[in-house]
Amino acid sequence: MQPSEIQAVKQRFGIIGTSELLNRAIDIAVQVSSTDLSVLITGESGVGKENFPQIIHQYSHRKHGPYIAVNCGAIPEGTIDSELFGHEKGSFTGATADRKGYFEVADGGTIFLDEVGELPLSTQVRLLRVLEAGEFIKVGSSKTQKTNVRVVAATNLNMIQATRESRFREDLFYRLNTVPIAVPALRERKDDIVLLFRKFASDFAEKYRMPPIKLTEEAKALLTNYYWNGNVRQLKNITEQISVIEHQREITDQILRVYLPKDDNERLPALFTSSGREQKSFNSEREILYQVLFDMKKDMNDLKKLVHDIMNGQQPEDQQPDVHYPASFIANKDTRINASNAGVEYKNEINKRETNQYGDEDDINVYQDAELYHDEEIVQKPQTLEEMEREMIKRTLEKHRGKRKAAADELEISERTLYRKIKEYAIE
């Protein structure tokens, strides 16, 4: 499609944004609308998936037929078959009359199945029959009925994983996924965030009869770099909150921070230099573990260098400029120590600790050769990152006696992330 045609679609359906990913999704929706192929729309919650079934319907030859949107996750499991396919009188308690289901009512039109991944397995079998043969049977009936319906489905689940876990039928997934449309998350459309904020601010200003709010440059940068777990829906809600609550119409980054939740994924710990400036931010917990491992390795190398220098009669203060010893091992400049005595005392202390840990001094052979210790690496059984992360979480929970909030604060992650990790690692 030409850019002008895509822009016309956006104006008709109230879609705002210039992202290439968004334009691609709109282009696919318009192109597939002239066919009767099944379409599966995927994307996170709040990205605006509900706009695309309407585009498909309005640009198809079924545009004069009925359009029905069904939220599969909002219908109880015991009644969803009746809602979708109808029922006969007396088929179950409370069925006082015959009832037409959505697939019968939408004959000749389009039915949009939102949150299709929440369908029960028994209902998935019935839906597969509709898609393959255009047939269904009402609840409590033995008569097969025909229907001519275009099915468009949407979900925010990982459908590949759902099929592997037997929560969704693989044959139904591939039948629905004839044409996939992926709607990008808001964080993947950074250039559109300020545009959407401005549109929402204008709409709420008109709705509540007040001047529209505006963002400072710092607030725009904060808004653009925020993670937006709730995507466009979350942005709209926050814009409405600020429009109603704040008397000041120019919104600074300090004001904006008050309204942005602090437990989203982008708010992981960051390293800071001694000057207080941010050095590096982390995009995942795995990166944090990598950094911890690198720091531990550096500290171990510094410690080995210190022991080697002490055992060879060198003072720590005579160290090379590029070697950084741990502060706890550097002697006070005003107190001169004997290097050989310090080495013996340090060796005895190490032997004492090892003896306390293992219980048999004869089995311990620590630092018998300082040069060997310096030149050779200590070989330990390797651990995976998952094992290290599990052990870290377990120890922190034990430290705080199972209090998740305190443990989450120390680990610098959200309670929600901690709860997910506890379930993932089966930590008791």
CATH number, domain of 211, equals 1.10.8.60
Of the three residues 244, 259, 274, the one that is the final residue of a domain is 259
Residue 228 resides in a domain: yes
Cα–Cα distances in Å, from 56 out to 63, 301, 357, 377? Answer: 9, 63, 69, 64
Same domain, yes or no, for 253 and 206?
yes
3-state secondary structure of 412: coil
Q: How many domains does the chain have?
A: 4
Predicted local confidence at residue 362, as pLDDT: 45
Is residue 220 domain-resident?
yes
Say whether both 322 and 419 belong to one domain: no
How sure is the predictor about 189, in pLDDT bands with cuts at 50, 70 and 90?
very high
150 and 205 housed in the same domain: no
pLDDT of 47 over the 70 cut: yes
Instruction: Tell me the pairing of strands 39-42 and 179-182.
Output: parallel
Structure tokens at 130: 């509709």
Strands 179-182 and 214-215 come out as unpaired
pLDDT at 96 over 80: yes
Whether residues 116 and 153 share a domain: the answer is: yes
> Which candidate, 157, 195, 197, places its Cα nearest to that of 177?
157
1-44 residue pLDDT tens: 889 999 999 999 999 999 999 999 999 999 999 999 999 999 99
Q: β-pairing, 250-251 with 214-215? A: parallel
pLDDT in tens, 291-322: 777 678 777 877 877 777 777 766 554 444 44
Considering the domain architecture, whether residues 202 and 349 belong to the same structural domain is answered as no
- Is there a domain that residue 270 lies in? no
User: What does the alpha-carbon distance between residue 297 and residue 303 come to, in Å, rounded to a whole number?
Assistant: 10
If you write DSSP's letter for every residue of 225-265 in order, what string do you get?
HS--TTHHHHHHHHHHHHHHH-S-SEEPHHHHHHHS-TTST
Model pLDDT for residues 320-356, shown as the tens digit of each residue: 444 444 444 444 444 444 444 444 454 555 555 544 5
160: number of Cβ within 10 Å: 12
**Is residue 366 predicted with pLDDT exceeding 70?**
no
49 and 177 inside one domain = yes
Give the pLDDT confidence of 136-165 residue by residue, as tens digits. Answer: 999 999 999 999 999 999 999 999 999 999
- Looking at the fold, whether 195 and 172 belong to one and the same domain comes out as no
Of 148, 168, 184, the residue at which a domain comes to its end is 184
According to the 3-state scheme, what is the secondary structure of 81-119? HHHHHCECCCCCCCCCCCECCHHHHCCCCEEEEECHHHC
Residue 283 lies in a domain: no
Asked if residue 396 and residue 326 are part of one domain, the reply reads no
Domain extent for 197: 187-259
- Residue 164: inside a domain, yes or no? yes
Residue 334 covered by a domain: yes
- The answer to whether residues 180 and 32 belong to one domain is yes
- pLDDT for the residue numbered 246: 94
Indicate which CATH number applies to the domain containing 36: 3.40.50.300
Q: Is there a single domain that holds both residue 205 and residue 73?
A: no
Determine, yes or no, domain membership for 290. Answer: no
Is residue 168 domain-shared with residue 219, that is, in the same domain? no
pLDDT level of residue 126 (50, 70, 90 thresholds):
very high
418 and 404 Cβ atoms separated by less than 8 Å? yes
- Pick from 168, 184, 200: which residue ends a domain? 184
Does residue 44 sit within a domain? yes
Are residues 135 and 57 both part of a single domain?
Answer: yes
Structure token pair of residue 237:
């809600």
Q: What is the CATH number of the domain that holds 405?
A: 1.10.10
Residue 389 structure tokens: 């992360």
